[in-house]
Chains A and B, each alone.
Chain A
Amino acid sequence: VSRPLHPHVHWAAPPSLSPRQHRLLRGQASIPSPATLPPPRPGSLSLDGRAVDPPRVREAIGREAFGPPPAYLDWLAARWRNGRGGRWRGRLCLGWTAAEEATRVSALGGWLGRQRRLLRMGAGRLGVPMERHGRAADTYASAGEPAPEGPDGRRRELLRRRASSASEPPVGSSASASAEGIRRNRPGSYSGAPSASRQRVESLRKKRQLFPWFGLDIGGTLVKLVYFEPKDITAEEEEEEVESLKSIRKYLTSNVAYGSTGIRDVHLELKDLTLCGRKGNLHFIRFPTHDMPAFIQMGRDKNFSSLHTVFCATGGGAYKFEQDFLTIGDLQLCKLDELDCLIKGILYIDSVGFNGRSQCYYFENPADAEKCQKLPFDLKNPYPLLLVNIGSGVSILAVYSKDNYKRVTGTSLGGGTFFGLCCLLTGCSTFEEALEMASRGDSTKVDKLVRDIYGGDYERFGLPGWAVASSFGNMISKEKREAVSKEDLARATLITITNNIGSIARMCALNENINQVVFVGNFLRINTIAMRLLAYALDYWSKGQLKALFSEHEGYFGAVGALLELLKIP
């Protein structure tokens, strides 16, 4: 078959994907783990309610995983571990208050301090347009046909500033504190802040948000919900706790599945966390965005509005469903900028770790099935950082400090594209199913590789023979179309989308002169193939200059950021 053959392209699948490697790449089992867990049964993780099994459990990190057995065993054990092995994280909680932030900044003093202040001023606090505000409407990836050019970013900035103004240190806090003081069910009477300034803790406690503490991130495909379950409730407090609040707590913490599609990622639960002076567990829950109406209905049924709580929500859905929340659930949403939340969430979660283990990890020898290891990564020097958030679409952010970041670009070829194309090509109906098929497929039957054209490496351009020259390039031939399986197509779709994201991320890292790239977002959930490919491709094409990093709570950072914002609201 003769085809146009000018295609010397890179971004390939890792070399030599033998069937054995496919098997090994399939799931957790491929990575050596001290706690030998049975491989998950992806088919059972249905989001459509047919069979909701307990969620899978992630393997521990690497060979020398320092963490104890997985979190689900029991939370008491986890507490014990946290007490011993984990770092104490009280400071981090305080660190997230604006007051603390202000102190720290001024304490820096000198030039550095001034620079940081300038940066912060640049971050919109004083109305100076921040760099990222220039991004205008390209929050979303790509160009649809008739999109008008040069959309007005100013409005967005205003909204963002409105949201961020909520996080500024409250003025006249004593007045509001006294007003709060008379509330009946004010939470947090427990006084257990160990070593921080007692006075500050007192004042913080007074400003503390009422329970329940939720953070919501409503994306294009999935809704991510984080819920802080206080574990330090005193008997007195419990007595005062209204029934609806108790019922919410019980409902969320005693189930791992909600309705037919909601799932609590038990293995991600952060135990024994101290947040704003309260100790408790952080729960991670997700459900499809198309079930948002049912969720709002549940809020109405459970009488959320009576709790006088604030719902902090981010993601596009915070806007899309705002009216429904108000009219159906009688709930006022506090809408937050999704990129702000994402950054705040990721920095916070990284700082608290993962129940004593590292939050951030990387892959060593990602292409080598034998030697591949998932290893913890200490993100002690996080800046500058390229953050690649792969949800339905992809956003790429360059983060220079916790307040100084910009959206570099984005692409519409993201998780939604992978799943959407898989549905069309294979008839699958869940993300898990698509990934499971991909794990069994062979993309080289679908893609045209460099070696298919040149018989080997294309030395003129230094292209290895295993590199993909044309994604789906073999599918222009009828015979080959008839010879491929659905699994092969799923695999090729996954490889295509992943390589492309890697390629764009690498270019952005080069353009921004950043060498650590953190990939987050739910596309990476249970998606070891994609993570290893990203790790390999980034390393290979940058000749070892770029490092691909991943994070255990990959898709939940926006929701965590929203929760953190809630706690800043006076």
Chain B
Amino acid sequence: MAECGASGSGSSGDSLDKSITLPPDEIFRNLENAKRFAIDIGGSLTKLAYYSTVQHKVARVRSFESSGRDTEQDHEPPYEISVQEEVTARLHFVKFENTYIEACLDFIKDHLVNTETKVIQATGGGAYKFKDLIEEKLRLKVDKEDVMTCLIKGCNFVLRNIPHEAFAYQKDSDPEFRFQTNHPDIFPYLLVNIGSGVSIVKVETEDRFEWVGGSSIGGGTFWGLGALLTKTKKFDELLHLASKGQHTSVDMLVQDVYGGAHQTLGLSGDLIASSFGKSAAADKEFSKEDMAKSLLHMISNDIGQLACLYAKLHCLDRVYFGGFFIRGHPVTMRTITYSINFFSKGEVQALFLRHEGYLGAIGAFLKGAEQDNPNQYSWGENYAGSSGLMSSSPELCPTQRFDLLEMDRLERPLANLPLLLDPSSYVPDTVDLTDDALARKYWLTCFEEALDGVVKRAVASQPGSVDAAERAEKFRQKYWRKLQTLRHQPFAYGTLTVRSLLDTREHCLNEFNFPDPYSKVKQKENGVALKCFPRVIRCLDALGWEERQLALVKGLLAGNVFDWGAKAVSDVLESDPQFGFEEAKSKLQDNSGIDVILGVFPFVRELLSRGTEVILACNSGPALNDVTYCESLIVAERIAAMDPVVHSALKEERLLLMQTGSSSPCLDLSRLDKGLAVLVRERGADLVVIEGMGRAVHTNYYAALRCESLKLAVIKNSWLAERLGGRLFSVIFKYEVPAE
């Protein structure tokens, strides 16, 4: 994390640490398929990027070939499941101190199988220095890329692909990090890169940016001048000194000039009138701490002032700060934030980036991978494979030698739901667990307690596998560690939410090849539900219109009870296999089986018979026992065979089955499958029904749409029910009409 960590002295790089043994599986992962390397070598940290492919087991569903089979038999599944290998693309980024560079290059050389790779893109000031070493070790030709171009390409990439990438830093608040929801249009913005000097770049589009100015007073000034004044050689130590000092003994303050009168004048006496103004007295001794602090203030204030002047001149209010001066150091983020607030009077916000350290490497990689068109895809941060943002307090975060970021290439590009009222202010999540300590505590404990059950379910889902138990145990450890990290650093992956906890679990399950632990359960439930479907339809059709509507909604909600993700429900389901749909309905309240077939489809059928066109969107990938898009296709096909309304609607494209682009029990309407978004716009959708606790309560509960919307769910968690002022199994039925 610390750019100028243990070896941040002027002599770094001369003493390469060769003795280090790398834990191969954990750091340079998937090297065997790696291609397209890029490297960014800074003053003390090296960032390596490579593209690789990951083989995953995925559960595929398929209708049985022979339609002549007797499907009336009781234990016949409605479709078959096969586990297949799927190859997905992943970007790997590894950050380590320059001292390890030789050991790392050796390691890569030993593990690199792919021989197609001939070139490595390199950027950063150290690229030149290590050029020969890289060429010799990896036998790759070093292609130098422009530092600033890489930085900006990288910045665009993370801003576009990583939600909660940018954050504001507020000292003394809990948490100190305030993550920003990604603005749908990331341009234009100002990037202030504080390396040894300061560069201020205005970025207008993906390819257009302009160096608008800079300053020579930057990180190098702090370091160089600080080293002269305090005889402290290392950057980190200087920052540490500064954090302990008092600048008032060195700086001339307004109160020093005005005496006590600053109060009557309404002046703030603590403002600095002249930096180092008091040191202009001979024979006076100043402590190192005080001088370092004064220097830090002087430089931060100066940079903040210039940044504000440039932001004003170019009419920009989004200013991102990066560079080794910032790189996660709470001390500098704090002083820069203070300065920006002071000089802009709150009009400009200082923003920092979670993956700021990787921008150069990402950009260099993208430059090299242009023929793969990485920018045409959407990417997602893989929580399982990424280290996350480290805590600001050193005691919680012993200097890590390696920091990782992994990004998965998503199958399909993502886009905003066109019906969002204001995409720039849309926040998917209902509760911010970074903010709400009580809720955080509850949910972390909840996920910890549910872990055993998830492990058990994962093992059970792969009865034929010899190593399932072993993998499941690894999953348990990994997810447990993530939960512990999040307890101490809730901000590690952006805003902590129930959604991110669920997603992290899915990512960890995938990591250990448990792509869909619920596929068998869903298969069985779908089979049972399909059998009940005609009877349910008959009952519904027998009712009068009003009663039918009520029954349909009850059915929709009853189906929602069958949620293996909810602890209260899974307890009942585990203990009482006889617990059925009727009981659920009487107990009242998109899951697979009963939810989708007996709840959603009758509801959809009713809409269709009214002449309404329906787009039914399901998850692209598996998450808990939620129905997936592929399953929904088979289910729809089977229902169409039984029901003429659904049949003709499918045929006439009045019922369209789509995928959401999500593999999460929750739903981020700003990251929807682009095909779905396009269709929604084309068809002029004017009602959005969001069903389920994950999609309508944990997320989107407050989502404002431009059309009418219906959010429904059953609260299957007693703590949440209590929080919302209701009881377990209370119903959310939220019909909203947009304000004119």
Contacts and interface: CB of A to CB of B under 8 A. Distances in A.
Contacts of B199: 6-9, 461
B740 to A, nearest CB: 37
A4 B125 contact: yes
Contacts of A477: 10
Nearest to A507: B309
B712 to A, nearest CB: 45
B271 interface: yes
B275 A413 contact: yes
Contacts of A306: none
Contact of A470 (B148, B216, B229): B216
A295 to B, nearest CB: 16
B273 A141 contact: yes
B361 to A, nearest CB: 13
B217 A500 contact: yes
Contacts of B549: none
A-B residue pairs, 5 tightest by C-beta = A5-B125, A7-B197, A320-B259, A475-B224, A416-B274
Nearest to B125: A5
B202 to A, nearest CB: 12
B125 A424 contact: no
11 contacts: A4-B323, A6-B125, A6-B197, A145-B338, A148-B270, A220-B252, A417-B274, A429-B282, A462-B211, A475-B223, A496-B217
Interface in A110-169: 136-149, 151-156, 159
B195 A6 contact: yes
A148 B255 CA distance: 14
B349 interface: no
A269 B674 CA distance: 78
A110 B327 CA distance: 60
B196 A469 contact: yes
B42 A4 contact: yes
Contacts of B297: 142-145
Contact of B271 (A8, A143, A320): A143
A478 B233 CA distance: 8
B443 interface: no
Interface of A: 1-12, 136-149, 151-156, 159, 219-221, 315-317, 319-322, 391-393, 409, 411-417, 419-421, 423-425, 427, 429, 446-448, 453, 460-463, 467-479, 481, 489, 496, 499-500, 503-504, 507-508, 510-511
B39 to A, nearest CB: 13
A316 B277 contact: no
Given A417-B275, A473-B220, A9 B225 contact: no
Contact of B257 (A1, A10, A12, A219): A219
Given A142-B275, A151-B267, A2 B247 contact: no
A139 B273 CA distance: 9
B311 to A, nearest CB: 10
A392 B251 CA distance: 11
Contacts of B291: 424
Nearest to B219: A4
B239 to A, nearest CB: 14
Interface in B393-446: none
Contacts of A423: 279-282
Contacts of A429: 282
B551 to A, nearest CB: 59
- Give the interface size class of chain B: 35 or more
A551 B193 CA distance: 37
Contacts of B252: 220, 392-393, 416
A13 B407 CA distance: 45
A144 B195 contact: no
B494 interface: no
Contact of B323 (A6, A138, A146): A6
B221 A470 contact: yes
Given A393-B274, A478-B233, A510 B313 contact: yes
B306 A503 contact: yes
Interface stretch (B159-167, B339-347, B664-672): B339-347
B278 to A, nearest CB: 7
B312 interface: yes
Nearest to B12: A2
Given A4-B3, A421-B279, A471 B220 contact: yes
A429 B146 CA distance: 45
Contacts of B306: 503-504, 507
Interface of B: 3, 9-13, 41-44, 98, 124-126, 129, 146-149, 151, 193, 195-199, 211, 213-221, 223-225, 227-229, 233, 235, 247-248, 250-254, 256-262, 264-268, 270-282, 286, 291, 297-298, 301-302, 304-306, 309-310, 312-313, 323-324, 335, 338-339, 341-343
B220 A142 contact: no
A474 B216 CA distance: 12
A412 B259 CA distance: 18
B228 to A, nearest CB: 5
B204 to A, nearest CB: 15
Nearest to A450: B197
Contacts of B213: 10, 503, 507
A108 B232 CA distance: 65
Contact of A409 (B147, B278, B343): B343
Contacts of A136: 266
Nearest to A11: B216
A412 B301 contact: yes
A392 B258 CA distance: 13
Contact of A3 (B149, B220, B266): B220
Contact of A2 (B126, B257, B262, B275): B126
Contacts of B98: 2
Contacts of A447: 216
Contacts of A392: 252, 257, 273-274, 277
Nearest to A422: B280
Contact of A472 (B221, B235, B286, B310): B221
Nearest to B296: A145
A500 B198 CA distance: 12
A473 B271 contact: no
A8 B148 contact: yes
Contacts of A507: 213, 306, 309-310, 313
Contacts of A148: 268, 270
Given A8-B214, A411-B301, A476-B227, 6 more contacts: A5-B43, A420-B275, A425-B228, A468-B197, A481-B228, A504-B305
Given A142-B271, A146-B270, A423-B281, A4 B43 contact: yes
Contacts of B223: 472, 475-476
B356 to A, nearest CB: 12
Contacts of A149: 341-342
A317 B257 contact: yes
Given A409-B305, A412-B272, A473 B224 contact: yes
A230 B225 CA distance: 51
A424 B272 CA distance: 19
Given A4-B42, A316-B257, A320-B261, A473 B270 contact: no
Contact of A9 (B214, B260, B275, B282): B214
Given A11-B215, A424-B286, A6 B196 contact: yes
Contacts of B324: 4
A196 to B, nearest CB: 39
A325 to B, nearest CB: 12
B131 to A, nearest CB: 12
B519 to A, nearest CB: 49
A326 B238 CA distance: 46
A508 B305 CA distance: 11
A420 B278 contact: yes
A545 to B, nearest CB: 14
B195 A7 contact: yes
Contact of A499 (B216, B261, B298): B216
Nearest to A499: B216
Nearest to B310: A507
A467 B215 CA distance: 10
Contacts of A489: 228
A94 B218 CA distance: 51
Contacts of B195: 4-7, 470
